[in-house]
Amino acid sequence: MKFAQIVLAASAATVAYAYPRGRDVDPTKKSADVQKRANGFSWLGVSESGAEFGTNIPGTLGNDYAWPETSQVKILRDQGMNIFRVPFLMERMVPTSLTGPVDATYLAGLTSTVKFITDSGAYAVLDPHNYGRYDGNIITSTSDFAAFWKALATKFASNDKVIFDTSKRSPRGKSYAIDLSTNIIPPDNEYHDIDQTIVLNMNQAAINAIRAAGATSQYIFVEGNGYTGAWSWSTTNDNLKALTDSSDKIIYEMHQYLDSDSSGTSESCVSATIGKERLQSATAWLRDNKKKGFLGEFAGGVNANCEAAVEGMLSYMSENTDVWTGAEWWAAGPRWGSYMYSLEPSTGPAYSTYLPILKKYFVSS
């Protein structure tokens, strides 16, 4: 696999108006657009993975990790995607401690990537891909977590197209400690088995800190415990309905994979209908609690069973856009190689199969 260096976003201005515009709707309000239900999503896109890769901290750009290639982001943007999540590591952003200074070089990489995305009219999700941990330890200090978020949010407070993702819990196996020479994904190392009150308190601390930083117009995606799984959300994360936001722009981010244990580690899917089935209880929870949801990670293998399951899931969500605002595929990015879910143009194994399915649900469609 050839790893390309980051392409800085100096040319972003030349493409700013070449893209289909994202729908500027407020997902927290039941507009006529949303109530149409047919393709009523606000967002549909992909996670642009790469800056969270590598076990060497801080590591070397282009060797241990890479920022998304803007030329590849442009391809997906041109197709109609209007949201891109940008994972990164907290240990690289604030190398000394959660309350320490932001690393200027690493921040510059994030800033240039975000600028390219948002200059195109799309949304950029800032995703600290840390599994609820810093330097290997579970984060329990709300004041430390708030300090990190206030420092970061201050840098992006004036960009309305930025979305803050308060906590990261990706599918089991999607560790950034990946053997890039073999594309083997190592065992689980995510945020899980944490006291549920900690999850509530950390999310609330992040929300408060982001608003205190002056970022009052942006959406905030909050994630839950138990891998933030949609299938178990109503039983695992019910207490998160107590979260409050002075700007009233909380979106509940859930993840859902379609293999036997919902881990996202197999090319197989349980059935052609499992996508819809695994979202039903979460849909009811969102509606009962008058909340909005977003599917922050989903994927399936390249086979007929999974393709039907993914399409069935998206179709079901599009019929319930009073609560579902959209979804992001896991994942694209320059370092995946032959990883089964890679949507990286045009070499990713999932690209040619799943892009046509996803396009049916793009906001611009």
Verify whether residue 190 is a known catalytic residue. Answer: yes
Q: What single-letter amino acid sits at 40?
A: G
For strands 220-223 and 137-138, give the pairing. unpaired
Angle between helices 351-359 and 304-318 (to 10 degrees): 20
Coil, strand, or helix at residue 165? strand
CB 76 within 8 A of CB 15: no
Catalytic residue among 190, 223, 328, 344: 190
Angle between helices 70-79 and 104-119 (to 10 degrees): 30
Q: For the residues of 83-138, what is the DSSP string, one character each?
A: EEEEEE-HHHHSSS-TTSPPPHHHHHHHHHHHHHHHHTT-EEEEEE-STTEETTEE
Place of tokens 């109503």: 234
For strands 137-138 and 133-134, give the pairing. antiparallel
Partners of residue 123 on adjacent β-strands? 83
CA–CA separation, 342 vs 231, rounded Å? Answer: 23
271 token code pair:
């059935």
User: How many Cα atoms within 13 Å fall on the side-chain side of residue 333?
Assistant: 28
CB 228 within 8 A of CB 168: no
Quote the strand ranges of 141-225, DSSP E.
162-165, 220-223
User: How many Cα atoms within 13 Å fall on the side-chain side of residue 328?
Assistant: 28
Backbone angles phi, psi at 235, to 5 degrees: -95, -30
Verify whether residue 253 is a known catalytic residue. Answer: no
CB 326 within 8 A of CB 295: yes
Catalytic residue among 91, 297, 311, 344: 297
Active-site residue set = 190, 297
